[in-house]
Amino acid sequence: MQRPFIFLNLLWLVLLSCSEGPSDGTGKKVFKYNQPGALSSLDPAFARNQANIWAATQLYNGLVELDGELKIGPAIASAWDVSEDGRAYTFYLRDSVFFHDHEVFPGGRGRKVTAQDFEYSFKRIVDPKTASTGAWVFNDKVLTDATGAISDTAFLAVNDTIFKVYLNEPFIAFLEILTMPYAYVVPQEAVAEYGKDFRANPVGTGPFVFRLWDEGNAIVLHRNPNYWRRDEQGRQLPYLDAVQISFITDRKSEFLTFVQGKLDFLSSITEGSRDMILNNDGTVQEDFAGKFRVQKVPYLNTEYIGFQLDPTNLKDPNTAMQDKRVRQALSYAINKREMLAYFRNNIGIPGHSGIVPPSLPSYNDSLVRGYSYEPKKAMELLQAAGYSARNPLKLRLSTVSEHKELAEYMQKKWAEVGVQVQIDINQAPAHQETVDNGRAPFFMKSWLGDYPDAENYLALFYSKNFSPAGPNKTHFKNAAFDRLYEQAKLERDAQKRWALYQQMDQIIVEEAPVIVLYYDEVVRLTQNNVQGLMPNPMNTLNLERVRKE
């Protein structure tokens, strides 16, 4: 049962109690954003989706972080060294970082963060009792003992300010992994006090301090008066007094709330509101021009169609899937530019290269040439594979309701080259389970990068990563690809590694275990009085330098 009157009065009192800040009529600078998707935890050990990640980013810090160009920069670690063999990382911690003031500490004053806190936090992530969704970031990477279990010395606090991590073998993207919320530091005292309820009683080091969570209504965070970071002029961050997160699930209502000025920004606008805001060519409709800012940048998300190449778990295996000419033909039959213009208001970049998106530095569409719209070539390949009007290829495409229009468009384009495709619409959890367990022969999926390195995308095709345990949902297996993947993981020279990535991506293009549909883009709407909120390819939300004028 909703308690709107009581809750709104409580929320008002909480916001009024914010620390002092420049006046905006109420005396406080409160940044308001909406979270239409479920937010299940404020514990970074469970930061598996955007909702959890955005909230955790305001509350915690890690050793290192990404800047707006996806470059590694210092956070709680002011510096670090990597051993010559690439297996040992040494981090030098600042001695000026404190946990938030909280009753779990003596006198209610937050204590200084030490290397022991990182040792505890990292061991907590891999502890089966925690059941963290992020255990994979360390499993199979950090040092293991003779039994294969993670070694007690994989994470080692040398003293209060020196922290070491040891790997079994070099992993070139390990620093990028440490920028993820799973690697944020938490205090043992708070986790011991709250147990599983730490999810709703977070204590971190970040720019904002937790104040209130009324589940399903709002979360309120206050400015951390003791935050360790300052701007270039020596002023303490953050600039905002508070952050308010609402939970409007209807996207049209969310947009109208933004237009009324009751939200400061929106991200990832969907079909209904997208058509209200943008013309088909992606420009802003005249009614909204100048009323707010619209920003669009490449996103670390590749939308694709996968072929299940392993018939083991398929109820009715179709031998056509094993013929790469068929898979290539289905790619040539799709007009990706037209599809994006008609159904996505030109949000996205046509997938005319490999699986690696343009926002990563190793992307090179002149070296990795994918599939453009060539229906004549599609028909020639299908004929060569033995399919014609007399013997049509018949397929079933599994997807979710969100992609129904795109699927129907592709169904029409495939019909034009003689392929009959039936569309099966499933609920997202059922679709995910079917794909993960190899029971979907032909399916729509996407891959949102966990960290900004092409290895994260190419891992989808490494033969040791078969789903459901790993991300290889097509069960693609290619010896040359595997050799290059294993070589790239050890290559420390960036240019040489990128060349290996490009060779791998070209193999994916040639063998066609997937159809790359498009590389997504982040679209953000921001009120004109908001300054310092910059979009980025990871679509992270960092509010420590945001202002409201």
Helix (H) / strand (E) containing 343: helix 336-344
Per-residue pLDDT of the chain (549 residues; tens, 9 = 90+): 444 444 444 554 555 455 443 344 557 899 999 998 789 999 999 998 899 999 999 999 999 999 878 889 999 999 999 999 999 999 999 999 999 999 999 999 999 999 999 999 999 999 999 999 999 999 989 999 999 899 999 999 999 999 999 999 999 899 999 999 999 999 999 999 999 999 999 999 999 999 999 988 999 999 999 999 999 999 999 999 999 999 998 888 898 899 999 999 998 776 666 777 787 777 787 877 788 998 888 899 999 999 999 999 998 888 899 999 999 999 999 999 999 999 998 999 999 999 999 999 999 999 999 999 999 999 999 999 999 988 999 999 999 998 999 999 999 999 999 999 999 999 988 999 999 999 999 999 999 998 999 999 999 999 999 999 889 999 999 999 999 999 998 888 999 999 999 999 999 999 999 999 999 998 889 999 999 998 888 889 999 999 998
**Number of neighbouring beta carbons within 10 Å of residue 343:** 18
Give the ranges where 21-107 is alpha helix by DSSP (H): 50-59
Q: What is the topology classification, in CATH, of domain 61-195?
A: Dipeptide-binding Protein; domain 1 (3.90.76)
What are 7's two structure tokens? 């809750």
DSSP element (H, E) containing 14 = helix 4-16
Cβ pair 40, 254 in contact under 8 A: no
Torsion sign across C-alpha atoms 306, 311, 315, 319: positive
- SS3 of 414, please? helix
What does the pLDDT look like over 491-514, one tens digit per residue?
889 999 999 999 999 999 999 999
Check for a shared fold between 61-195 and 299-520: no
Return the number of other C-beta atoms located less than 10 Å from residue 37's C-beta. 14
Q: Is 188 left (phi over 0), alpha (psi -120 to 50) or beta?
A: alpha
**Alpha-carbon torsion (274, 278, 280, 283), positive or negative:** negative
Closest CA to 509 of 461, 439, 453, 448: 461
Cα angle value 340/346/350 (rounded, 5°): 50
CB within 8 Å of 524: residues ≥ 6 apart: 265, 266, 267, 293, 294, 295, 296, 533, 535
Q: Domain-by-domain residue ranges, the chain? A: 61-195, 299-520
The number of residues in the chain equals 549
Q: Which helix (H) or strand (E) holds 424?
A: strand 419-426
**Is domain 299-520 in CATH 3.30.70.100, yes or no?**
no
- Residue by residue, DSSP assigns 177-221 as HTTSGGG----HHHHHHHGGGGGGS---SSSEEEEEEETTTEEEE
Instruction: Say if residues 327 and 271 touch (Cβ distance below 8 Å).
Output: no
As beta bridge partners, residue 425 has: 399
Q: Which helix (H) or strand (E) holds 124?
A: helix 115-126
Q: What is the H or E stretch that residue 121 is in?
A: helix 115-126
